[in-house]
Amino acid sequence: MAKKKKNEWFEWLKALLVALGVALVVRMFLFAPIIVDGPSMLPTLHDRDQMIVNKYKYYFNEPERFDIVVFHASSQKDFIKRVIGLPGEHVAVIENVLYIDGEPVEESFLPDNQEELSSFQAVRNDFVLEELPGEYTVVPDGHVLVLGDNRGNSTDSRMLGVIPTDQIVGKASLIYWPFERIQFVGE
């Protein structure tokens, strides 16, 4: 009887260790949770939204324009922003219109009317790539330019400069909390 009880405990311990190992692999290499901190991605993401980040997406693919990504802004802080400029592109925002290589690009995720837009963008946020840290004429290889959707209240490439793609943790894929906001984002 004692031997049977000992084997049962050993089997439970093995199952627990396997489960912890699988969870660790999933967390390190595949998916991770993140909590949105602040209003920089309004109206798309709200402060305290809890999300799942797809960490394996960029093992096989490069970031695409308008992907919402999480990246290491510093050794202590990760930021969540939207990819706007890709390698080899010139980026500018003039009178709140995004231009890529001189061509206007619609940002359908931003509010349509200017009154609603101005509530998220209290100040004009015009810039050209050459004015940003690094003074590049195009986004360099291995980098992306990121902006928050709430341009009037976002620390992004306008302050940080272009972001190395090796600093990208992954693509924000799913809001899972609060319950009423459950949705896939950026699809």
Catalytic-role residue among 55, 57, 81, 171: 81
Task: Measure the N-to-C terminal CA separation of the chain; round to a whole number of Å.
Answer: 57
Token look-up 């260790």 returns 17
Measured between alpha carbons, how far is 59 from 74 in angstroms, rounded to an integer? 21
Of 23, 32, 94, 107, whose CA–CA distance to 65 is shortest? 107
Amino acid at residue number 64: E
Q: Six-digit token pair at 139?
A: 């986004």
Catalytic-role residue among 4, 6, 14, 40: 40
Measured between alpha carbons, how far is 4 from 24 in angstroms, rounded to an integer? 30
- Tell me, yes or no, if 81 is annotated catalytic: yes
| Distances, alpha carbon 123 to alpha carbons 110, 145, 150, 153, 161, in Å | 15, 20, 11, 9, 20
Rg, Å, the chain Cα set: 21
Q: Annotated catalytic sites, by residue?
A: 40, 81
